[in-house]
Amino acid sequence: MFKDQRFVDYNAAGFRKDLLSGITVGIVAIPLGMAFAIASGVKPEYGLYTTIIAGFLVALFGGSRFQIAGPTGAFIPILLAIVLQYGYEDLLIAGFLAGIFLVIMSYLGVSNLIHFVPRSVTIGFTSGIAIIIFTGQFGNFLGLSGLESKEFFHENMIDVAKHLHTINIFAVLTAVIGLSIIFILPKLAPKLPVLLVALLIPTIISVLLFPGKVETIGTAFGGIPQTLPGFHFPQITLTKLLNLWQPALIIAALGAIESLLSAVVADGMKEGPKHDSKRELFGQGIANIVSPLFGGIPATGAIARTATNIRSGAVGPVSGIVQSVFVLLFLLLFAPYASYIPLAAMAPILMFVAWNMSARKSFVHILSVRSSDSIVLVTTFLLTIFINLTVAVQIGILLAALSFLRKMSGKLNISVGKLSDVEIHKFGEDVTKFIFDGPLFFGSAKTFEDKMPGILSKGTGTIILDFEHLSMIDATGEAALFTLLGEAKKKNVKIIIKKLPKQKLAMFKKSGLYDRIGEENFFM
């Protein structure tokens, strides 16, 4: 299906650059993989498994030269909801189904349709996700004990408030040290991997100065195994398919949007061949089909890691493969040491990610315009936070579509036109011409129907409908024309169609309008 052009003219010099950039991205991916997994309600090693497997497969089969795939923050709310409602095993099934959907999307050319998702919807749910991730780390940042993850945002916030009396000063100190490093280190040593340093230093401090005083990966999850899990095909039943197909479709759609957006960003950062969107979705699909078979959670292209990959000098997809191998080596050699990482050290990393993905400026800009887009934005944002991402995306797109239809319904303009000498010569002076400008479809048919009495009340024997500037017509528009023809026949008024474009003429012939009007009444 796909012809891979990404390895054309690849050489040893390119491999050396990809080796260095792959290691750099791997260093960044390790803390993020574990943090995203924990925030999604699963064990940290599952995030590493995803980074290794999905990262390798997207680099191998994807459509971008620089794409780095793995678990991302955008998936956290929907993955957490699935885990809370159905459990980890069903999360694997949802990821598996999402992979199948992505492969189907690649064959159907759905990558082109992704661009029709309104910006107000994407900014709305992205900002909502950022709020969920940020506030979801309050418990770990403050070291609260007795918290239980709940499905809804307000329930989690109420639970945090109820347990504020359990605040752990050592956890707060650990988190503040990590947060300070995230803000200060890039100014002092911009080349150092800030997130990894922000994880290591608080861990070392907690182990040396106050051991056993804060909850760690080891105490919370029992440590990380030094091996990849074996192959395990999830038990798929009809009931599970009925329960999970909708969240799986949302995962696939969200993954497609984020991966293609990441690929576009990568294209803008580096000169050379652009990404192949169909192949990119295919690679993402393969990654999400295979990853759950080895315990991995859903993955997509990660914009921040892809950008880091490019800034580190990557020239091809080998850097993504190196990144996966590097994380695998970390898992095999250093996994036991990850048990000492405090959850409080993870919190500022996730908060930092949430802050960066919040799209604050775009949110404020759309909100300040005070248009229908603002309503779509706020609705999607609030539904993402207080209900779930699935409902938010559906309602957001529906509202955007209704807003579009409302705008388009006012685009149909029907005006009286001046007769040309040719028209007077051919039809006489007892003629009225109406010029149609805009779309005649189900959204504007009511406008046309309201103007019908006025069109037919002119009392002339012949009416010309000038369709030269008719931008579109659908079945509802055709039905409205059938109605006009029926009323015209009752009043003994002749209808002439002028300058109907050829593609619309073919539609008239299929629907029967052409025969109803009569070939002799088409003035082309």
Does any domain span residue 408? Answer: no
Q: Please identify, among 336, 357, 378, the residue that sits at the C-terminal boundary of a domain.
A: 357
Which among 445, 486, 228 is positioned nearest to 332, based on CA atoms?
A: 228
Amino acid at 394: Q
Q: Name the more confident of 93 and 432.
A: 93
What average pLDDT does this structure show over 385-405? 84
Residue 1 confidence (pLDDT): 47
Alpha carbon of 18 to those of 14, 31, 276: distances in Å? Answer: 6, 21, 20
| DSSP line for 452-470 | HHHHHTT--SEEEEEEEEE
Q: Is residue 348 over pLDDT 90?
A: yes
pLDDT level of residue 520 (50, 70, 90 thresholds): confident
The answer to whether residues 28 and 330 touch, using CB atoms and an 8 Å cutoff, is: no
Does any domain span residue 405? Answer: no
- 224 and 141, same domain (yes or no): yes
**Full domain range(s) for residue 428:** 413-523
> CA 267, CA 106: separation in Å to the nearest integer?
19
Q: Is residue 112 over pLDDT 50?
A: yes
Q: Please identify, among 357, 375, 401, the residue that sits at the C-terminal boundary of a domain.
A: 357
Burial class of residue 426, CB neighbours in 10 A (0-12, 13-18, 19+): middle
What average pLDDT does this structure show over 365-392? 87
CATH of the domain at 454: 3.30.750.24
Q: Please identify, among 357, 391, 423, the residue that sits at the C-terminal boundary of a domain.
A: 357
Residue 8 confidence (pLDDT): 65
Residue whose pair of structure tokens reads 């629907």 in the numeric block: 511
Q: Name the more confident of 377 and 513.
A: 377
What average pLDDT does this structure show over 221-231? 85
Domain total in the chain: 2
Residues 300-332: tens digit of each pLDDT: 998 888 988 898 888 889 999 999 999 999 999
Residue 327 confidence (pLDDT): 94
- 427 and 501, same domain (yes or no): yes
Q: Which range, 56-60, 120-124, 265-269, 516-520, has the best average confidence (pLDDT)?
A: 56-60
Angle at 296 between CA 156 and CA 81, to 5 degrees: 25
- 420 and 302, same domain (yes or no): no
Q: Name the more confident of 388 and 1.
A: 388
Mean pLDDT of all residues belonging to the chain? 88
> CA 72, CA 256: separation in Å to the nearest integer?
13
> CA 38, CA 50: separation in Å to the nearest integer?
13
- 348 and 482, same domain (yes or no): no
- 179 and 77, same domain (yes or no): yes
Does any domain span residue 1? Answer: no
Helices 318-334 + 12-39 axis angle, to 10: 50
| pTM for this predicted structure | 0.76
Does any domain span residue 478? Answer: yes
Residues 287-324 as b/e (b if ≥16 CB within 10 A, e otherwise) read bbbbbbbbbbbbbbbbbbbbbbbbebebbbbbbbbbbb
In the numeric block, which tokens belong to residue 473?
């017509």
- 258 and 333, same domain (yes or no): yes
In the numeric block, which tokens belong to residue 238?
């009809």
What average pLDDT does this structure show over 42-53? 95
Residues 38-47: tens digit of each pLDDT: 999 999 999 9
- 219 and 123, same domain (yes or no): yes
Does any domain span residue 193? Answer: yes
What average pLDDT does this structure show over 500-508? 82
Amino acid at 99: G
User: Strand 69-70 to strand 300-301: parallel, antiparallel, or no bridges (unpaired)?
Assistant: antiparallel
Does any domain span residue 485? Answer: yes
Backbone dihedral angles phi then psi of residue 359, each to the nearest 5 degrees:
55, 45
- 154 and 45, same domain (yes or no): yes
> CA 227, CA 178: separation in Å to the nearest integer?
28
CB atoms inside a 10 Å sphere around CB 8: 8
- 163 and 256, same domain (yes or no): yes
- 418 and 299, same domain (yes or no): no
The answer to whether residues 412 and 436 touch, using CB atoms and an 8 Å cutoff, is: yes
Residue 210 confidence (pLDDT): 93
Q: Is residue 218 over pLDDT 60?
A: yes
- 187 and 79, same domain (yes or no): yes
Which residues pair with residue 438 across a beta bridge?
470
The answer to whether residues 282 and 61 touch, using CB atoms and an 8 Å cutoff, is: yes
Residues 126-182: tens digit of each pLDDT: 899 889 989 989 999 999 998 888 878 899 899 999 999 999 999 999 999 999 999
For residues 345, 347, 348 and 354, what is the CA-based torsion angle, rounded to 10 degrees? 150
The answer to whether residues 42 and 345 touch, using CB atoms and an 8 Å cutoff, is: no
- 352 and 455, same domain (yes or no): no
Sheet holding 494-498, edge to edge: 413-417, 431-440, 462-473, 494-498, 522-523
Does any domain span residue 401? Answer: no
Does any domain span residue 225? Answer: yes
Residue 161 confidence (pLDDT): 93
pLDDT level of residue 234 (50, 70, 90 thresholds): confident
Residue 7 confidence (pLDDT): 65
